[in-house]
Structure 1
Amino acid sequence: MTLTATAPAALSAVLEPEGAYSLQASVSPLQCGPRDPTVVFRDGAVWMAFRNEDGAVTLRLTQRGGLRQCSVQATAWGPGAAAALVSVPRLVGLLDDWSGFDAPAFASGLPELARKGRYLQPGLRLPATGRMLDAVVRVILEQKVTGLEAKRAWRYLVARFGDPAPAAPDAPVELRLPPTAAQWRRVPSWEWHRAGVDSKRSAAALRAAGAASGLERLDGMNAAGVHAGLCSIPGIGAWTAAEVLQRTHGCPDSISVGDFHLAAFVGAALTGKRTDDAGMLELLTPWAGQRQRVVRMLYASGFRKQAYGPRLSPEDHRRR
């Protein structure tokens, strides 16, 4: 990877993925809803704003070429630009290795729906941000609420307490940096309330912000170490740790035990019947080490479980 100056205060790099690759499919899980101010899809480009050890970054990613032969153009602005470009291969999933999953001996034993999903999404890779606090706070906001509530809370808090992203030509005006640990700690109780975040989740987020330096050290640890470190913080359990690992480490085996929908989905996809967490883990046992990939491919297949009863309704904590 070669860095070149493209404009004052800008650096760029071009990366060439090996094998099939889709930038949008790979980095979509990093966006907290279509109005996430930290990850914006606009006119064929992916814009991200974040901080690294050198400072704030605005990053633009574009894919040139097709699925089977392409390049990824990355351009970064801000004091953290050089470090951001070094992190891009991991960030966009280019270091994610599917060779074991795609090996004939393994692939032949996969469920039919997982094989279908891999056929439909051959360019999907698992991204890894390495940014622990950002992921932890976002996932805490997703605990025990609907996706709509969690996305609104994240959007409100980032817009209210995050900083503007480093200036870049044609960058989306809504692009903002997630709050730092210090900024999260300064969010007053009534602003959590206005964001629709109850006291348990706000308290967990504040504890995570208080342990930010320790959290960031988890980036260099394996999945078991990260899981144990996260679960040592009150308010963070197995579900939250698994969801964080999927985003920060691109963990191919991380399963979200305790998810409101996942066990029933996996049971319906693999057996035609819903199941619970224990049943889900038993069903996925043959693919230990690759269970998250299997789940992603089940979703990629287009399979949807039958819905029963009314949808879960959002709760408005702001009027309490």
Structure 2
Amino acid sequence: MTMTADAATAASAHAEPLRTVYRPPHPLNLLRTVGVLARGPKDPTMFVEGSTLWRAARTPAGVSTVALRQTHEGVHATAWGPGAEWTLGQLPRLCGADDDASGFDVSGHPMLAAIAHRTVGTRLTRTDLVFDALVCATLEQKVTSLQAFGAWRVLVTRFGERAPGPAPRTLFAPPSVDGWRRIPSWAWHRAGVEPPQSRTIVRTAERGQRVADAVLAAQGGAERERVLTSLPGIGAWTSAETRIRALGDPDAVSVGDYHLAHQVGYALTGSRVDDDGMLELLAPWAGHRQRVIRLILAGGPREPRRGPRLAPEDHRRR
């Protein structure tokens, strides 16, 4: 008799969890490093309660839930589910172990140096889960964060899988690659996802795990961008956002972002710039441009608002 995926997850929820302590050889701020992965305060895949970060994922070995808590001893991790062993094995990379900042120097820029001093221990995380990062980035194309986070929440809770373990609130792992492919058109519409974005995700999912495997096998950001942007509907912005989240790319720049160039320009010069101007400003830190962006977003000066917030259009009412 073959056990279904839901039954296997339910059975694993009652199995003994796996535990480890990761002792990073470098300063680490766990919540700052991993917390950037949350897609809004109601993300069904992760949340923080007190000093514990809870995260659900669909790993190559199956669904898992992990609870992370940092003490003076290190990061205490407890994992449940079929993917628990994979999750604990990947934990150092999630905590930025592969983040090599050699050659990165902001000592000549007082504002950036001050932010770096205040945020010491913040590292570039990587999940190694390329398809999930690609879906998140695609949902965020050309819409507000509020719209994208809402769509992610609806789709993951409706078509994902309830995660194992004793989390204080229900967590869900995202759908499998084939699960994303099989989401019906009406469900995308009901979640508020525009047809171009849903088509991109479905068509990419039709290629199966090959896309993620090709990205992981590629050497360097330029080659990974070539692989990603060869897919219909995936441009430079989506490629960069995917590489940042899944692979911790230290040089990725999300060209085409509605706000980013303005934020970078204002922080570094006091004036707005366009994408070309942003790339010119970041050029002295080639190889580490994402690090500069993270510092600016973490504590750089913000341009005063010039008008009301954008009122998102709800295409479901058309």
Q: TM-score scaled to structure 1, two decimals? A: 0.91
Q: Which residue of structure 2 lines up, in the alignment, with residue 63 of structure 1?
A: 70
| Pick aligned residue for 1:94 from 94, 97, 104 | 97
Deviation (angstroms), 1:37? 0.6
CA distance in 2 between counterparts of 1:307 and 1:113 reads 21
Q: Which residue of structure 2 lines up, in the alignment, with residue 28 of structure 1?
A: 35
Q: Which residue of structure 1 lines up, in the alignment, with residue 216 of structure 2?
A: 219
CA distance in 1 between counterparts of 2:229 and 2:45 reads 26
Q: Which residue of structure 1 lines up, in the alignment, with residue 280 of structure 2?
A: 282
| Pick aligned residue for 1:84 from 84, 87, 99 | 87
CA distance in 2 between counterparts of 1:99 and 1:220 reads 23
Letter in 2 for 1:31: A
CA distance in 2 between counterparts of 1:189 and 1:41 reads 33
Answer whether contact 2:44 2:172 (CA < 8 A) is retained. Answer: yes
SS in 2 for 1:60: strand
Answer whether contact 1:47 1:61 (CA < 8 A) is retained. Answer: yes
SS in 1 for 2:173: coil
Answer whether contact 2:28 2:95 (CA < 8 A) is retained. Answer: no
Q: Specify whether residues 120 and 212 from structure 1 end up closer, same or farther in structure 2 by C-alpha distance, changes over 3 A only.
A: farther
CA distance in 2 between counterparts of 1:128 and 1:81 reads 17
Equivalence map 1:1-320=2 (5 Å):
8-65=15-72, 70-101=73-104, 106-109=105-108, 111-166=109-164, 168-169=165-166, 171-217=167-213, 218-221=215-218, 222-320=220-318
Deviation (angstroms), 1:9? 3.0
CA RMSD of aligned residues (A): 1.4
Answer whether contact 2:58 2:175 (CA < 8 A) is retained. Answer: no
Deviation (angstroms), 1:14? 0.4
Answer whether contact 1:39 1:175 (CA < 8 A) is retained. Answer: yes
SS in 2 for 1:124: coil
Letter in 2 for 1:108: S
Structure 1: 4+ residue segments shifted above 3 A: none
CA distance in 2 between counterparts of 1:123 and 1:150 reads 29
Letter in 2 for 1:107: V
Unaligned runs of 5+ in 2: 1-13
> 1:20-54 CA deviation, whole Å, 9 max, x = no partner?
21100001111101110111212221111112222
Q: Aligned residue pairs: how many?
A: 303
Q: TM-score scaled to structure 2, two decimals? A: 0.92
> 1:144-180 CA deviation, whole Å, 9 max, x = no partner?
00000000000000011001112x13x1332001011
CA distance in 1 between counterparts of 2:29 and 2:273 reads 32
Deviation (angstroms), 1:223? 1.5
CA distance in 2 between counterparts of 1:210 and 1:313 reads 34
Answer whether contact 2:20 2:77 (CA < 8 A) is retained. Answer: yes
Q: Which residue of structure 2 lines up, in the alignment, with residue 3 of structure 1?
A: none
SS in 2 for 1:296: helix
CA distance in 2 between counterparts of 1:13 and 1:148 reads 36
> 1:213-254 CA deviation, whole Å, 9 max, x = no partner?
122211232212211111111111000000011001101110
Answer whether contact 1:255 1:292 (CA < 8 A) is retained. Answer: yes
Q: Which residue of structure 1 lines up, in the alignment, with residue 5 of structure 2?
A: none
CA distance in 2 between counterparts of 1:85 and 1:279 reads 42
Deviation (angstroms), 1:123? 1.1
Unaligned runs of 5+ in 1: 1-6
SS in 1 for 2:36: helix
Letter in 2 for 1:312: L
Q: Which residue of structure 2 lines up, in the alignment, with residue 4 of structure 1?
A: none
Letter in 1 for 2:80: W
Q: Specify whether residues 92 and 19 from structure 1 end up closer, same or farther in structure 2 by C-alpha distance, changes over 3 A only.
A: closer
